[in-house]
Amino acid sequence: MSGNIQLLNDTLAQARAEGRSALIAYVPAGFPTVDGGIEAVKAVLESGADVVEVGLPHSDPVFDGPVIQTADDIALRGGLKIADVMRTVREAHAATGKPILVMTYWNPVDRYGVERFAVELAEAGGAGCILPDLPVQESATWREHAEKQGLATVFVVAPSNKDERLKEITAAGSGFVYAASLMGVTGTRASVGEAAAALVQRTRAATELPVCVGIGVSNGEQAAEVAGFADGVIVGSAFVKALLDAPDEAAGLAAIRTLTAELAKGVRGNV
Amino acid sequence: MSSEFFIPDPEGQVPSAEGYFGAFGGKFIPEALVAAVDEVAVEYEKAKADPAFVAEFEDRLVNYSGRPSALTEVPRFAEHAGGGRIFLKREDLNHTGSHKINNVLGQALLTKRMGKPRVIAETGAGQHGVATATACALFGLECTVYMGEIDTERQALNVARMRMLGAEVIPVKSGSRTLKDAINEAFRDWVANVDRTHYIFGTAAGPHPFPAMVRDFHRVIGVEARRQILERAGRLPDAAIACVGGGSNALGLFHGFLPDSGVRLIGCEAAGHGVESGEHAASLSAGEPGILHGSRSYLLQDEEGQITEPYSISAGLDYPGIGPEHAYLRDIGRAEYRAVTDDAAMQAFRLLSRTEGIIPAIESAHALAGALEVGRELGKDSLLVVNLSGRGDKDMDTAARYFELYDAAEGESK
């Protein structure tokens, strides 16, 4: 079975055809439990998210903020394995038919075996990977296997990237481009940085790929603001925080359904 | 002194332009840091070719830090090591009490050159943090130091020193609350504040160019030691021995002797309670290749690439990785590595104190324990140079508890 890069491309094209931004949600696997994580992924996809990035937790999430590190620690203390992440992708995709990517650090993939990881992710129905600490110049082996398995390789771009670097990164990527809208690690912010719009504009000059903006959005109003200039709005820490703050699993699922619905309105310009 | 510290390796091959030492090294960082790390690489290349920069660096080493550091023969200690001759390279006599000041002065000058007003650093034992706080006071830079919460407790004296020097010390409560977690937090700070901040990385690890740059700033150790041992003993040593956590003091020493194929280069890792116990920090002896903190090297990790928690009595060696050049030097057979337990290191710690009146850092005591082994293996004709990378004042609480020196009646001992 081949990976679902085409489903990802079609989903983003469909959102564009509807004249709106796509809503992309980040949900860590294994948090608060493996089954609870699967329910969370299904919940956001059923309540308005177009795409989900499933986080594969890492012991040393150097480039994430404290909210995601807390979730990662809970998942790993619970004994989460890569097989559980693959099951999360498989069950959530089977239940919803929507595109699901995996987001993680390079060491777990490198250690697990690049080919083995790509083959298993494609077999699970995954659409691709985001590997923020794997720069384009180190990514040839991964891209070879991803391409063979029908998986997208989504690269992150930052405001400090020069135009030449944006060309180099986007030429190697597929699916979409992840534009980090604020300098800084992932975490909710009071307002969305103005640098985002400029970065999206410069990225569009370098590539035909959809440009989705991440880091910072936590409510419908901010989602609408970003949707005004980006092809997709990526929301991560706000979902994890909603799950962390909930008194129990049922309340957590209810909270992320409500948040997803608000954000889904936001990306359609209805606040 | 002259600019001999910046002479490229004879082969001129490591690291490659991409920062690789053979299969190790590289630059595994998010795009938000690429521009900053590239700027460091470009500015460092310019700086080391700039006679004014080199002259200022060397002036600070001499007139501020007190170089060259002494080479001290320790005959009463050597009696316990097979009866050969042992010389200690006295990095403990540098200003701030360890080798760390060499790298920090270099990078602080580079920070000024880049026009950045703020510096961040991580620290384990506190020696790199103290050195960084010192250089920031000297050059008028803002300074924030990240330190694992466990380390702030076992190295409370160094926390007070850093604060006295005007630095902000932030105890890190995440993960294992030791050195690797301090590095994680420092990287997060750097990503968020990269425009006005330089990260003075404290060891010869991290993304390119840090492994090569930190090594170069410490090359002075080996250059001096080689010259001094030739003057004093009339020949090159049989071995040059140093402790390795991240590995910067060892690389500084080793590089003085790298072209001398008759000099064995021996690194001593922290074996904690023993490599077989699983409670250790011996990345080369018991680790597997992987990526952490920006480069590929040997790591303590599980089969799914999650980093496992290291352990050592020594805060400065309590790290699950090692600089990529050490992985390379071992793979090409140029350097060899041994694992030294807490107990062996503490015995050497006491032995040097009692035979020579020198209290070493517990980190450096791992190298001394290695020297006791190597000396016994080589016998009475042997000649060893050991890097005494730091002094032991900061470790007195740990040592007093280990040797039960506090008055038991006051309940301080166990």
B contacts of A58 (beta carbons < 8 Å)? 305-306
Distance, in Å, from the CA atom of B362 to the CA atom of B370, rounded to the nearest integer, reads 13
The full DSSP string for B138-203 is HHT-EEEEEEEHHHHHHTHHHHHHHHHTT-EEEEE-STTSSHHHHHHHHHHHHHHHTTTEEE---S
Give the C-alpha distances (Å, rounded to integers) separating A45 from A1, A23, A156.
Answer: 22, 10, 23
Listing from the earlier edge strand, what are the strands of the sheet with B295-299?
Answer: B20-21, B24-25, B295-299, B288-292
CB contact under 8 A, A107 and B305: yes
Contact of A10 with chain B, judged by CB distance below 8 Å, is answered with no
Instruction: State the nearest Cα–Cα gap between A93 and chain B, in angstroms.
Output: 23
CB contact under 8 A, B192 and A184: yes
Mean pLDDT of B335-364: 98
Specify the higher pLDDT residue, B11 or B215: B215
Can you give the pLDDT at residue A66?
A: 85
Please list the ranges in chain A whose pLDDT falls under 50: 183-185, 188, 190
Can you give the pLDDT at residue B401?
A: 94
Q: How confident is the model at residue B413 (pLDDT cuts 50, 70, 90)?
A: very low
Beta-bridged to residue B242, according to DSSP, are B267
Specify the higher pLDDT residue, B355 or A65: B355
Can you give the pLDDT at residue B8?
A: 54
Domain ranges of chain B: 27-64+99-210, 71-97+218-402
Option in B30, B291, B303 nearest A63 (CB):
B30
User: What SS3 string covers B344-394?
Assistant: HHHHHHHHHHHHHCCCECHHHHHHHHHHHHHHHHHCCCCEEEEEECEECHH
Option in A59, A108, A158 nearest B32 (CB):
A158
Can you give the pLDDT at residue B6?
A: 66
| A2-58 pLDDT, tens digit each | 899 999 999 999 999 999 999 999 999 999 999 999 999 999 999 999 999 999 999
Displacement of CA B244 from its chain's centroid (Å)? 7
B291 has pLDDT over 60: yes
The full DSSP string for A33-61 is -HHHHHHHHHHHHHTT-SEEEEE---S--
Give the C-alpha distances (Å, rounded to integers) separating B385 from B68, B367, B405.
Answer: 16, 10, 31
Question: Is residue A93 a contact partner of residue A4, using CB atoms and an 8 Å limit?
Answer: yes
User: What SS3 string covers B80-137?
Assistant: CCCCCEEEEEEHHHCCCCECHHHHHHHHHHHHHHHCCCEEEEEECCCHHHHHHHHHHH
The residues of B whose Cβ lies within 8 A of any Cβ of A are 18, 26-32, 34-36, 174-175, 180-181, 183-184, 187-188, 191-192, 194-195, 288, 290-294, 299, 301, 303-308
Q: Which residues of B are catalytic?
A: 100, 122, 389
Contact of A167 with chain B, judged by CB distance below 8 Å, is answered with no
CB contact under 8 A, A59 and B307: yes
Distance, in Å, from the CA atom of A53 to the CA atom of A152, rounded to the nearest integer, reads 12
Contact of A189 with chain B, judged by CB distance below 8 Å, is answered with no
Q: Name the closest residue on chain A to residue B309, using Cα atoms.
A: A59
Extract the tokens encoding B228: 């001094």
Can you give the pLDDT at residue B13?
A: 59
Architecture label for domain B71-97+218-402: 3-Layer(aba) Sandwich (3.40)
Do domains B27-64+99-210 and B71-97+218-402 share one topology? The answer is yes
B2 has pLDDT over 50: no
Q: Name the closest residue on chain A to residue B291, using Cα atoms.
A: A107
How many C-beta neighbours within 10 Å does residue A90 have?
Answer: 18
B12 has pLDDT over 80: no
Mean pLDDT of B272-280: 96
Distance, in Å, from the CA atom of A266 to the CA atom of A251, rounded to the nearest integer, reads 23
Can you give the pLDDT at residue A183?
A: 45
Question: Is residue B60 a contact partner of residue B139, using CB atoms and an 8 Å limit?
Answer: no
Q: Name the closest residue on chain B to residue A76, using Cα atoms.
A: B306
Can you give the pLDDT at residue B9?
A: 53
Question: Is residue B180 a contact partner of residue A107, using CB atoms and an 8 Å limit?
Answer: no
Half-sphere exposure of B232 (CA within 13 A, CB side): 20
Distance, in Å, from the CA atom of B262 to the CA atom of B248, rounded to the nearest integer, reads 22
Half-sphere exposure of A106 (CA within 13 A, CB side): 26
Q: In order of start, what are the domains of chain A with their CATH numbers?
A: 5-266 (3.20.20.70)
ipTM value: 0.92
CB contact under 8 A, A58 and B192: no
B185 has pLDDT over 80: yes
A contacts of B188 (beta carbons < 8 Å)? 62-63, 65, 185
| B240-265 pLDDT, tens digit each | 999 999 999 999 999 999 999 999 99
Q: Output phi, psi for A185, to 5 deg.
A: -80, 165
How many C-beta neighbours within 10 Å does residue A88 have?
Answer: 31
Cβ neighbours of residue B38 closer than 8 Å, sequence gap 6 or more:
none
Instruction: State the nearest Cα–Cα gap between B227 and chain A, in angstroms.
Output: 41
Pick the CATH number of B27-64+99-210 from 3.40.50.1100, 3.90.1150.10, 3.40.50.720, 1.10.357.10: 3.40.50.1100
Displacement of CA B365 from its chain's centroid (Å)? 13
CB contact under 8 A, B31 and A112: no
CB contact under 8 A, B30 and A133: yes
Q: How confident is the model at residue B95 (pLDDT cuts 50, 70, 90)?
A: very high
Distance, in Å, from the CA atom of A119 to the CA atom of A71, rounded to the nearest integer, reads 27
